[in-house]
Structure 1
Amino acid sequence: MPPTVDRLSGSEVQGWCLGKVIGNGADGVVYSAEGKGRSAAVKIFFPENLQKEEWSGARDRLELQLSLKGEKHHPNLVEVIDGGELEEYSTIYLVMEYVPGSSLDKICGKIPPEVVQQLIWQLASACKWLEDRGLAHRDIKPANIVISEDFSQLTLLDLGVIHWLPTDGDGRLSGDEFVATTASEPTWPGAKQGLESEVSPRILSEIQ
């Protein structure tokens, strides 16, 4: 029986030698990797999750992700390198650039207040690049945002659940209200000032 996808450190997947686990989410596990002359991050999706939906949907989403491969499209958006199916594990994988730094959920209290607004702008810019092409990231959270060691560069990671934006009549739409959450509201000094210049008054009124 082949090992489970969360125990593949030291294995080779499609020419990529998998190193340590650097991320573990609800839909898959991410490994550091080396191969094809560069470092990378390889996400392998949990097969049991894919079995809960039609495989055709998973393949369509993979093709959408791979449509972005080939270059670094935006300085604040992770580059897609490769991907495909892994028949031996009944799943799919996605290869992305390896981004050095720390995820936002681990360093919230260490970010200097004076750079908060610039980092928010970088995140918004990456999201706008996707939106301008009719795409939605769908999993923006602190764990999917990496900040460089000098706090000057933000990178939005994990395009694993990217999707076309919903249109009129789309079953994914449940109403015309924007839904926000305070679960990841930043708490470091000065964060609120940065937020107030970037977030709509209605959302701010709900989190204050």
Structure 2
Amino acid sequence: MIECEGERLDSHERLRRLLSAIIDEPERRTELSDQIMTEFTRRCAVMVLDMSGFSRTTQVHGVVSFLLMIHQMRLLAVPSIEVCGGTLVKAEADNLYCIFPETAAAVKAAREIMRRLETVNPLLPAGRRLYASIGIGFGDILLLDDQDLFGDEVNLASKLGEDVAQSGMITLTDSARAALSDEAPSAPERASISGLAITYHVVG
């Protein structure tokens, strides 16, 4: 048994024990892998927001300005995420990782965030304006207590947000685009990152 009687483990600890069990009992790998997928899998949309221009900001204005801009972005983005039914799962450096019940909700939140940035930026000093690029995926992900998330669509959304999308751009994986029924069809675009070929779609 992974969970002892009377012992309540958080998702991270339960996952750690299941993975350790696979190492200790390799003959149970299929059974334990299925248990992990059953216990932690959630089908949803994932949105990864990446902020732009931080290396330059840190060099010119220092780390406090860097941290201040990250804080401002979170204050601006989280209300848009929540009002669209999303949850901010984690924030790492200048990235926000969020989940939504469906792709349409993630796209709506992304558009609202971009709109708010356009409204706020004219009021900020030129060197401290906030810019973002966003990648959105959809599919089965492993979600740990709404605090961490893993999966192919998470990785793809992250690569789109960080490496493919330009500032102000909202990009979708193939799976996210397929789950979005109320958008006009968009021509797929392709990119290669670290040897990985990615097909993606841009929404306005």
TM over 0.5: no
- Larger helix proportion of the pair: 2
Relative contact order: is structure 1 or structure 2 higher (C-alpha 8 Å, sep ≥ 6)? Answer: 2
